[in-house]
Amino acid sequence: MQNKSNFYTDNPDLEFQFEQRVDWDTLFSLASDDDKETLHVSTAKEYRKLFVDLVTQIGEVAGSTISANQIAVSKQDLVLKNGEVEYPPAMTENLRLLMDVGVSTIGISGSYDGLPSPVAAELPAIEILYRACPSTYLNVTWFAPIARIIEAFGSEEQKLRVIPRLASGEWSGNMALTEPDTGSDLGAIKTYGELQSDGNWKLYGSKRFITNGNGQVSLVLGKGKKGATGLRALNLYLCFRKNDNGTRNYDVTKLEEKVALHGSATCELKFDGSTAELIGEEGHGFQYMLHLMNEARVSVAFQGIGIMEEVYRLAKSYCEVRKTWGRPIAQHEMIVEKLLDMEVTTKAARSLSFAAGNANSICELAARRLREDDSLTDGHREKIKEIQTKNLRRVRRLTPLVKYFAGEQAVFNARMCLQLHGGYGFTTEYPAELWLRESLIIPIYEGTTQIQALMCLKDTLKDVIRRPTSFIESALGLRFAKISERDQLRRKLARLKQELNGAIISLMVQLLKTNVRSTVTGISSLRLRKMIRTIARDVVKFENMRPALLNAERITEMKIAVCVAQSLMDDIKVDSTRTWIAERWLNKAIPRVVMLRSEIEMQEPVLAHRFSEIPVGKME
């Protein structure tokens, strides 16, 4: 079993990413004067230190009591009694400790009694708490995310009424998207609102799999009227679980029984004439919810990293003491490689996820500054917009990648941890089985792995269409770069990029052959430009997007390989001792992406025959 420790200071890689790779100078420059005054900081260095100290404090609590309570939390059931969720002793103690630390204030504006931190300052706390106890984290995460949505899009009255109570921890919240028969297809949800004469709304419908559905504040995605269709018909509603007189406004009808996360309330909600208020404008609900969903997907990546960190430590600790044939199994060749790859993939996921989180933080602070600071000069405002636009592109590109990578890798590493424990791993005597169960949700919630792949695919094709010259120069120029580049690692990175671009070109060729019966022979700059122009003009008319849809995950995995390699190379610029991490990643990634490209180009006939029996797929 692990010793008690500080889950921040015992992790040098986490310290490196948080303290040296987050762009504290830019974040400090975007923070408002009110925030700086609230935090009592006057320099970027002080700004960083404040949050390092906070995370260190959370790390201490997580590494002692919360992690020690993890087994008890997994065994002590929540109870739904008379519509109320009751927490057992272990969870109650965890929540009390974290509320004493002030977790409910983190990330909420000082104007509403919060601790105004950038999203990046919350990321190590997510990893730390999920590593300690996933259920506990899910019970203390629904303060700032809900507050930020209300602050950005709600009315002044809504802000003043709700956000201070979220900051104090008196209330917590949830986002109610999923319905029993819709899943990720949000356009098909049936919950709807009816506008009342007093300006409020009545909600009708049900939601399922809602984490922390027992919170007082629910952000409900629903149609503006019964039977409306499409994403533009969606509103975002503010709905309170209890009315001012203490009566129930909507019902928590069920607690889901799950393979893991036993200390987290996953609820089914029923709205039957529930009083609600519109947030923002009608028809903008999906756009508003995207802000929360994108932030949540980066958060899930850090949850996955928390699991990866814990299972690596468990596996390494066990393998160092378990002996076979006269030596610890940690010294056997195959085990050495498996532990190495568990370590490298954890560091790789953390590096890329911090890059995404840093960009997301900059966007969030930039948007808030532009929204609230009337004193900005035109020049300063334009500069902030440029910073925001640049980082929005990074957020859009990296978010599905980190959610996909950390989700899938968390499960893989957790299974490997169990495997390395041998027969003991299959017993409850060791926690390996518990962590495998806890990992299974990461690729599922906040958009499954496959949804992330579809997002990545769509953005990849759109990016080629919007910036054809950049793509062509990259695709053709990398042939020379992988030979001429002096640095060995950069040559390998160029090889990765070339394989990815080759796979994208192959996909476009297949789309043309399938839809316009075009024959493409040889790839030159002129032919590439013509092909991209044809796709840009006709892609909306394509009846068969199957070649692209089939290979969405392969393209996503190739992009992950490239983006992780680039992020690790950027890490080396700050700390050259990290070269071995990038080298191992590149050495493993190259044969993998070569294989993925071959699979894309193969157009396997048995699969093609199976597809001939079902309707073609169009990209939504």
pLDDT of 2 above 60 = no
DSSP H or E stretch at residue 203? strand 201-211
Cα separation, 414 vs 306, in Å, equals 11
pLDDT band at 26 (very low <50, low <70, confident <90, very high): very high
- 329: how many CB neighbours lie within 10 A of its CB? 19
CA distance 564 to 560: 6
| Tokens (6 digits) for 303 | 């949850």
Global pTM value: 0.95
Average pLDDT over residues 57-79: 95
pLDDT category at 522 given cuts 50, 70, 90 is low
Q: Max CA-CA distance within the chain? A: 80
Q: What is the pLDDT of residues 213-242, one digit of tens each?
A: 999 999 999 999 999 988 899 999 999 999
Query: Is residue 115's pLDDT more than 80?
Result: yes
Select from 401, 360, 404, 361 the least CA-distant residue to 564. Answer: 401
Mean pLDDT, range 453-482, rounded to an integer: 83
Q: What is the pLDDT of residue 181?
A: 78
Beta strand pairing call for 251-255 and 234-240: unpaired
Q: Which two tokens stand for residue 36?
A: 């700086």
**Domain ranges within the chain, ordered by starting residue:** 171-283, 449-611
* pLDDT of 618 over the 80 cut: no
- For residues 386-410, give the mean pLDDT: 97
Kindly tell me the burial class for residue 410, based on how many C-beta atoms sit within 10 Å of its own C-beta (0-12, 13-18, 19 or more): buried
Contact 416, 342 (CB under 8 A): yes
- Burial of 185 per CB tally in 10 Å (0-12, 13-18, 19+): exposed
Q: What is the pLDDT of residues 162-207, one digit of tens each?
A: 999 999 999 999 999 999 877 677 778 999 999 999 999 999 999 9
pLDDT bracket for residue 617 (50, 70, 90): low
CATH code for the domain defined by 171-283: 2.40.110.20
Position with higher pLDDT, 516 vs 417: 417
Q: Is residue 479 pLDDT above 90, yes or no?
A: no
Give 1's pLDDT tier (boundaries 50, 70, 90): very low
Looking at beta carbons, which pairs linking 516-523 to residues 24 or more positions away fall under 8 Å? 523/475
Q: Are 273 and 204 in contact (CB under 8 A)?
A: yes
Summarize the confidence of residues 38-58 as an average pLDDT.
97
Q: Is 603 helix (H, G, I), strand (E, B) or coil?
A: coil
Please, how many CA atoms are within 13 Å of residue 343, restricted to the half-sphere of its CB?
18
Q: Calculate the average pLDDT of the chain.
A: 93
pLDDT at 566: 98
pLDDT for 466 equals: 87
Whether pLDDT at 461 is above 60: yes
Helix (H) or strand (E) holding 507: helix 488-515
pLDDT band at 88 (very low <50, low <70, confident <90, very high): very high
**Poorest-confidence range of 340-349, 430-439, 534-543, 594-603?**
534-543
